[in-house]
């Protein structure tokens, strides 16, 4: 699990969520950079997060990692990681959207804060799911997740109910790696599936590994190395 | 594994392909109708295949099935199955396209025969992947797969090489449940990942089950029962 | 007129609506299956309806039919029918959307119940009219149409007025074969054209026949026969 | 039949084609401007053609016309005509594409000359049929149609065969009002339906009239009058 | 600056707006037809406006004009002008949308009256910006702009605030050449960039000239002459 | 001019190209990072380039810069730069595509090497120009531009001619900041406009400044600061 931000507490939470659904024979570990943004909320944060992901991949290249999951909504650094290694790299956002598309005809991502709507929509468009997926936001910073868990659930549920009524949503996608804790509350309140990309990402990574699939080595992601002076 | 056609040999081949990649704690079983089309090549075949899938799901509703995979390219009967049961239903075509999108930026489905291109494109459009996925066909009937395995590999490789050269494909998706046997030959000849939807479908089904996700029960797939007189 | 459900009263209503607009030299007849779902509201219903349509076409192949119209919103069985016969097959949904596109720049389908929105949108997307057409639903089962005609008109008018105000609709498409009776009330209340697909379908079928056009016999709908044991 | 160009011979040919498929109770008449471009090949031609159509509609407003068909590929002046009168206005291009979509899954317009591809694509996009329709051109001016009928058929057939082989076309749409004469030759040579928008347009106009449908009078085409000094 | 309507006061206002942002070495002049519609609000108006633009371009062909800007929302006559001359022709609507896309991720055009929404959307779709741009209208005729400037600002601000709240707009595009006067009031009230296409168009025209770029002379806009009898 | 790679020779070439078309009152300066990738060809390169752009913007925030142009095809770091400063930020790719859309109906980007096609398409899709723009590549690394100028022109011309013949292109967009030198050769050989994004970007930046437009400060690009420890 590659967390592109420097918040070790979020990495720990991500590992807990991932291990809860991993197959018995899967070993889940995680990494986050020591420095850099503590949350990925702006395009500036994303730039530093992408470099952090590239460096984490390069640093672990001899560790026998079978697959990577990008544990940040927006899939920060996913494409750079795919350039660097043969083993599969799964973005948690892609994974969440794919799972949602299997259990609901239409669904809604709820992200936070408003400025990240464009980043979620970028992944929706990367897959082409605009006709089945809307993106909404609650007006809260990622950093406020720790402090205000109760309020987060309340805000998410209110927004989810609007998605059901106004967008025809039949499932909800959590728009942040740090939201797994409120999934159950939303599901109970709204009566629809709630998808966490961390959990979805583990499953897709496991499946790609069992099939022996690796990132294509021609074209877009033909392998490159990270020069030593940039590591 | 729900095979909507009545070809028991194909069901057996599908089970072999599925078990080869299933997690250690997954039990894979399969069903196909006793009567009806032996291959799903036309919209007429699809109509009968959909009814067969609906009946197979209704007949197994007390068997403790954790998830279903539709083992036919085009995902025949997937939506009807989702209407009938809470547990996840994964189409092999959806699953293949999702896996392909994780290991390649652009990719090509190779189906057979030409008349099934529209069915593959229907699933591509259902997901919205038109901007990353093309569909090609080799001019062979599904029934000819058994007899002419060597020729199938040859035709598939030739078409795959055209996809790489002309469509910018970076991976190949096998456009039929009965093609798993030629995957390795294509991969070796073309140097790109080759995705089999049966294997991809098992992984997604396992993952949805581990996460406790079920098909949304509101809206498009709100549960219905199959009337006794239609079973 | 092919009604894929077993409701003979709806077939009769469809014939009345069709004959009201048919050209003087057109003979309109209809068929519905004896058994199967009495309304097409779920994907399970659609599967059985498609088989019923395929069988009805095969059974009438020597009757000198010049063209078929699928008299069910969602165009159940249209593609199977096109596989089976040379003469034109027109879906009432396609026909309604085409007529709407000729008399209004933007328009709205009002279907019933909510679960059928996805089926209407499937036809909208098949034609590519998403940029000009929205789909709404009133929360009523098809079976309730007989009993509650007055309430149906009231609900349809209320939804149509929302479509005009919120979607910029300039015309309304009736989203069910059984709604012709409320067309005039909606038109009077809303001041916009109201399109019934049954009537639209007859006109397109007549026109294709006069031009001598038949379904293309290459590619997607290359003719197949319905095997005797499936009739 | 409104011919926006001043070529009376083309108007006569259009009337012949229209009358050949009109219903027995339909009276077909036609108009073309006395002056202005003799063919609509450029956007400059289109501008003058649109004014000619608006004037022809205004001039015939008391003639008891039940419906208008724009007899020029590109549907020159269609939107202006819809602004002016309640009775239906059908573009021959729209009509041709709609008919093609009923008899083939994918199809190709063959227009002439190359500069008019963008005009044909404008109508394809107006309807949203990009995913099912390609546009090709033969390099010939509209004015050369009279002189070189034999060569036109030959060029059209060659281009149609390329459309079948390379675009997966299953039907051909004639991309000019003056091409009806070569329809049969193309159909015979290629074995697919060949659609002439003049014939298709008559049928749709008749059908709208029988249904009593008129252009919506709210929004985009809310009625305007042509000021006396512009007639 | 080509104003396709005959309102000389609007031409004067357009020139003022253009000169306010033109580079020091740019000479801005303008033209409008003596007769014809005083505002371009309907498709009938557009037809006459297109002819006026074509004639104005042909009449100025020896005047040493370096570039033309179409000063009417909807870019009336732009394509005809491009057919006629080598020097660049910039539509104010295209220009406004391009500028908006550089300073905001999502934005909204506010046009007047409601019937012109379809014309603005035509340009949005011509560029492909549907995923980032919505179109709204205030219910006012273009002719009312002179008389009711204060009310216009009020109505525009109210609509702009709805665009920010409901469409996620981050900038506003003025949907008429005559609205430059209210730009500042909207910007102050809403706190977002307000784009006037006249000003945007001048800048793009200047830039194309400095680069020596001219309209492509092959394909869609291959040069044609305006016949003497149509001038 | 912000060059995200560390190749000072390319920065110098970019400045030359920019100054050749800048308005008389425009002062053009440039920056590139001292370290990091010497060319932006992979997603890994892009990650480092984005950080370099963010740092360059933050470092120049007190320099009185009126607008930034990202001088790298793919617009590396554009969104991060927009987060950081009020003044306009123009990507050379966006600018090139916008200019191309004003002088041609369809056009083609020719990038190098093949792996960068996806990056060019990302910008094409960001604007929505897929229906008018194709992307091709010549198989050459950016680093080879210096050494093999003659060969580059030859390869570009050959690819441009294929774009004209096969894609209907009417103009060519140079897909790299280092290609300005071959523009004239391509234009002469192919007879169509050739657009260089560096020159296009300068013009759009100048125009936004003259209009007083700044990046919207709400939503997607609401201003953030670059923390001191990340500069």
User: What does the pLDDT look like over D122-176, one tens digit per residue?
Assistant: 999 999 999 999 999 998 877 776 667 778 999 999 999 999 999 999 999 999 9
E51–D54: do the CB atoms touch at under 8 Å?
no
Q: What is the pLDDT of residue F143?
A: 73
Chain E residues near residue A125 by CB distance under 8 angstroms = 131
When CB atoms are compared, the residue of D42, D47, D83 closest to E51 is D47
Asked whether the predicted pLDDT for residue A113 surpasses 80, the reply is: yes
Asked whether the predicted pLDDT for residue B46 surpasses 80, the reply is: yes
- State the Cα–Cα distance between residues D41 and D43, nearest whole angstrom: 7
Q: Closest Cα to residue B20, out of B211, B190, B221, B183?
A: B183
C117 and A CB contact within 8 Å: yes
Whether F2 is covered by a domain: the verdict is: no
CB C134 within 8 A of CB C108: yes
pLDDT in tens, A9-21: 999 999 999 999 9
Distances in whole angstroms, Cα of residue B203 to Cα of each of B22, E60, F192: 7, 68, 51
Residues A32 and A84 in one domain: yes
Distances in whole angstroms, Cα of residue F103 to Cα of each of B98, E215, F107: 39, 4, 9
Could you tell me which residue, A47 or E142, shows the higher pLDDT? A47
F118–B131: do the CB atoms touch at under 8 Å?
no
pLDDT in tens, E123-136: 999 999 999 999 99
The β-bridge partners of A111 are A137, A175
How many domains, chain D? 2
CB D212 within 8 A of CB D67: no
Residues of chain C with pLDDT under 70: 146-147
Chains E and B touch (3+ CB pairs under 8 A): no
Residues D100 and D23 in one domain: no
Which residues constitute the domain of residue C223? 8-92+200-230
Two tokens, residue C101: 């596109």
Residues B144 and B156 in one domain: yes
**Rg of chain A in Å (alpha carbons):** 17
- State the Cα–Cα distance between residues A17 and A71, nearest whole angstrom: 11
pLDDT classification of D92: cutoffs 50, 70, 90: very high
Task: Give a three-class secondary structure readout of chain A.
Answer: CECCCCCHHHHHHHHHHHHHHCCCCCCCCCECCCCCCCCCCCHHHHHHHHHHHHHHHHHCCCCCCCCEEECCCCCCCHHHHHHHCCCCEEEHHHHHHHHHHHHCCCEEEEECCHHHHHHHHHHHHHHCHHHCEEEEECCCCHHHCCCCHHHHHHHHHHHHHHHHHHCCCCCEEEECHHHHHHHHHHHHHHCCCEECHHHHHHHHHHHHHHHCCCCCCCHHHCCCCCCHHHC
SS3 label, residue B194: strand
Report strand pairing: B194-195 vs E133-137. Answer: unpaired
Whether F3 is covered by a domain: the verdict is: no
Q: What is the pLDDT of residue E23?
A: 95
Q: What is the pLDDT of residue F37?
A: 96
Residues C87 and C117 in one domain: no
Chain E residues near residue C106 by CB distance under 8 angstroms = 118
Per-residue pLDDT tens listing for chain F (231 residues): 999 999 999 999 999 999 999 999 999 999 999 999 999 999 999 999 999 999 999 999 999 999 999 999 999 999 999 999 999 999 999 999 999 999 999 999 999 999 999 999 999 999 999 999 999 999 887 777 766 777 899 999 999 999 999 999 999 999 999 898 999 999 999 999 999 999 999 999 999 999 999 999 999 999 999 999 998
Whether C179 is covered by a domain: the verdict is: yes
F130 and B CB contact within 8 Å: yes
Asked whether the predicted pLDDT for residue A142 surpasses 80, the reply is: no
A131–C118: do the CB atoms touch at under 8 Å?
no
If you ran DSSP here, which 8-state letter would residue E2 be given?
B
Q: Least CA distance to C128: which residue of chain A?
A: A131
**Measured between CA atoms, how close is B131 to chain F, in angstroms?**
9
Mean pLDDT value across residues A136-143 = 86
Whether A3 is covered by a domain: the verdict is: no
pLDDT in tens, B19-44: 999 999 999 999 999 999 999 999 99
Whether B1 is covered by a domain: the verdict is: no
The β-bridge partners of D175 are D111
A46–F80: do the CB atoms touch at under 8 Å?
yes
- State the Cα–Cα distance between residues F98 and E44, nearest whole angstrom: 29
D143 and E CB contact within 8 Å: no
Q: What is the pLDDT of residue F139?
A: 87
pLDDT in tens, B82-94: 999 999 999 999 9
Chains B and C touch (3+ CB pairs under 8 A): yes
Q: What is the pLDDT of residue C150?
A: 77
- State the Cα–Cα distance between residues F109 and F131, nearest whole angstrom: 13
pLDDT in tens, D171-221: 999 999 989 899 999 999 999 999 999 999 999 999 999 999 999 999 999
- The answer to whether the peptide bond before residue A113 is cis (omega within 30 degrees of 0) is yes
- State the Cα–Cα distance between residues B179 and B181, nearest whole angstrom: 5
Residues D71 and D122 in one domain: no
Two tokens, residue A161: 């109910």
DSSP one-letter string for F35-76: SS-SS--SHHHHHHHHHHHHHHHHHTTTTT---EEE-STT-T
A118 and E CB contact within 8 Å: yes
Percent of chain E with pLDDT over 70: 99
Backbone angles phi, psi at A25, to 5 degrees: -95, 15
Q: What is the pLDDT of residue E178?
A: 87
Report the neighbours of E using a cutoff of 3 or more CB pairs below 8 angstroms: A, C, D, F
Whether A170 is covered by a domain: the verdict is: yes
Residues B128 and B56 in one domain: no
Best E118, E127, E129 member to test C by mutation, with max C CBs in 10 Å, is E118
Q: What is the pLDDT of residue C34?
A: 94
Best B118, B126, B139, B166 member to test D by mutation, with max D CBs in 10 Å, is B118
Residues A83 and A129 in one domain: no
Asked whether the predicted pLDDT for residue A30 surpasses 90, the reply is: yes
Residues F126 and F181 in one domain: yes
Q: What is the pLDDT of residue E22?
A: 97
Two tokens, residue D155: 């060029």
Q: What is the pLDDT of residue F142?
A: 73
Best C43, C80, C143, C227 member to test B by mutation, with max B CBs in 10 Å, is C43
- Chain centroid to Cα D185, Å, comes to 20
When CB atoms are compared, the residue of C21, C88, C128 closest to D210 is C21
Backbone angles phi, psi at B136, to 5 degrees: -125, 165
C131–E117: do the CB atoms touch at under 8 Å?
no
F190 and E CB contact within 8 Å: no
Residues A123 and A54 in one domain: no
CB C32 within 8 A of CB C11: yes
**Measured between CA atoms, how close is B122 to chain D, in angstroms?**
11
Residues B166 and B211 in one domain: no
Q: Closest Cα to residue D3, out of D82, D86, D74?
A: D74
Residues F98 and F192 in one domain: yes
Residues E131 and E174 in one domain: yes
Percent of chain B with pLDDT over 70: 99
Residue E119 maps to which CATH number?
3.40.50.12500
Q: What is the pLDDT of residue A228?
A: 92
Whether D2 is covered by a domain: the verdict is: no
**The tokens 């599904």 sit on which residue?**
B142
F117 and B CB contact within 8 Å: yes
The strand ranges marked E within chain C are: 68-70, 89-91, 107-111, 133-137, 172-175, 194-195
Whether A1 is covered by a domain: the verdict is: no
Two tokens, residue C208: 């294709």
D53-72 burial by CB neighbour count: b if 16+ within 10 A, else e? bbbbbbeeeeeeeebbbbbb
- State the Cα–Cα distance between residues F183 and F167, nearest whole angstrom: 20
F168–D125: do the CB atoms touch at under 8 Å?
no
- State the Cα–Cα distance between residues B223 and A191, nearest whole angstrom: 14
Q: What is the pLDDT of residue F164?
A: 98
Two tokens, residue F41: 């060809």
Percent of chain B with pLDDT over 90: 92
- Chain centroid to Cα D80, Å, comes to 15
Q: Least CA distance to E167: which residue of chain A?
A: A136
């Amino acid at each position: 699990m590659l967390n592109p931000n420097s918040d070790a507490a979020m990495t720990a939470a991500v590992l807990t969520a991932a291990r809860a659904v991993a197959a018995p024979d899967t070993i889940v570990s995680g990494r986050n950079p020591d420095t850099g943004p503590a949350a990925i909320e702006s395009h500036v944060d994303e730039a530093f997060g992408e470099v952090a992901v590239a460096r984490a991949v390069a640093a672990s290249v001899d560790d026998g990692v079978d697959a990577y999951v990008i544990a940040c909504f927006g899939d920060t650094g996913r494409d750079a990681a795919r350039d660097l290694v043969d083993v599969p790299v799964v973005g948690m956002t892609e994974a969440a959207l794919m799972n949602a598309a299997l259990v609901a005809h239409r669904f809604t991502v709820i992200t936070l804060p408003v400025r990240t709507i464009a980043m979620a929509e970028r992944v929706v468009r990367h897959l082409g799911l605009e006709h089945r997926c809307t993106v909404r936001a609650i007006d809260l910073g990622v950093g406020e997740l720790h402090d205000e868990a109760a309020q987060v659930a309340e805000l998410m549920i209110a927004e989810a109910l609007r998605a059901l009524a106004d967008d025809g949503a039949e499932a909800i996608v959590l728009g942040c790696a740090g939201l797994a804790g409120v999934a159950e509350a939303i599901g109970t309140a709204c009566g629809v599936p709630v998808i966490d990309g961390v959990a979805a990402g583990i499953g897709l990574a496991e499946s790609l590994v069992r099939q022996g699939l690796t990132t294509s080595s021609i074209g877009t992601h033909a392998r490159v190395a990270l020069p030593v002076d940039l590591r």
